[in-house]
Amino acid sequence: MPFRRLTLAAAFLCLLGFAPANAGFADRPGDFDYYAMVLSWSPSFCLDNNGAHANDQQCTASRPYAFVLHGLWPQFDKGWPESCDVGQRPWVPRPVINSMLDIMPSDKLVIHEYAKHGTCSGMDAQGYFGLARKLFAKVTVPPKYTGLGKELNESVDQLITDFKMANPAITPGSIAVDCSRGGRIREVHICFTKDGAFTRCGKNEDQNRICRSASISIPPVRGDGSNSRTVVDSPDAKGNPLSESLRKWLYRKGIGR
């Protein structure tokens, strides 16, 4: 019986702790435990996969980003919801996309994050990105990382300490660092309650799981070293219509109009 075999397989995976949070269930908007605000180290993203992202919107020499907002992710204590059913195709209006490009420097990133994570927040795109910006503004990136001119080798503990010193309100256990297997920094996760207060992260941000290197490498900021919050003055940010290539990408993802 196929259904019985599927049920047994799902139960076995759950016992091993590998089943996705939504195995056998539909994720529901607004049903989650806390948010993880994820700050991506843009130079690492641009170096990933042997430079495969070199032509990405955030990786050209004229876009010298450091920490940027990857996303605001609804999380369960273990696992997470994603791509929740909101009754229609998720859609991010052009003005909302434009409003986020200074801290999320890619049209595709903004659209993807709402489709995958924002739909599970229980808010529409404007409300979700409004909260994301509010929480992003609540965190001060330590100055040593905003204009990094050369590669830095740093301990995970020191980076966390630097963030805590720059943000005294951060509570114990509310920040974690993600790195690659080779020890290159990828992201910093900072956890918030649904109401926007710092809170202890869940098992998804287990530091021993997401970065096992005691020391991490932090590539230098590209371009002139301006910090990650510099507003981008680009054609896309001026309200031009979506490009044909972006429209095709949206259509392939099933979130275009």
pLDDT of residue 247: 46
Q: How far is CA 193 from the centre of its chain?
A: 16
More confident residue, 161 or 46: 161
| Interval 230-251 mean pLDDT | 42
Output the pLDDT for position 240: 46
Evaluate whether 174 touches 164 at the Cβ level (below 8 Å): no
Structural domains of the chain sorted by starting position, each given as residue range(s) with its CATH number in brackets: 32-253 (3.90.730.10)
pTM over the 0.75 mark: yes
Q: 22-26, 47-51, 127-131, 184-188: which has the minimum mean pLDDT?
A: 22-26
Mean pLDDT of 101-117: 94
Contact partners, residue 109, CB within 8 Å, separation at least 6: 57, 58, 70, 71
* % of the chain at pLDDT higher than 70: 72
Spatial separation of the C-alpha atoms in residues 24 and 21, rounded to whole Å: 9
| Lookup result for tokens 């990136």 | 141
- The whole-number average pLDDT for the span 65-84 is 96
- Which amino acid, one-letter code, is at 15? L
d(CA 245, CA 211): 35
Give residue 19's pLDDT. 44
Residues 46-73 have a mean pLDDT of 77
**Segments of 164-255 assigned E as strands:** 175-179, 185-192, 215-218
Show the tokens assigned to 29. Answer: 């908007």
The pLDDT value given to residue 58:
76
pLDDT of 170 over the 60 cut:
yes
* φ, ψ (nearest 5 deg) of residue 190: -125, 130
When mean pLDDT is compared across 54-58, 151-155, 248-252, the lowest value belongs to 248-252
**Is the separation of the CB atoms in 29 and 86 below 8 Å?**
yes
pLDDT in tens, 187-218: 999 999 999 999 999 999 999 999 999 899 99
Distance, in Å, from the CA atom of 141 to the CA atom of 163, rounded to the nearest integer, reads: 7
How high is the mean pLDDT of the chain? 81
Residue 235, pLDDT > 50, answer: no
Average pLDDT over residues 143-158: 92
- The whole-number pLDDT of residue 252 equals 43
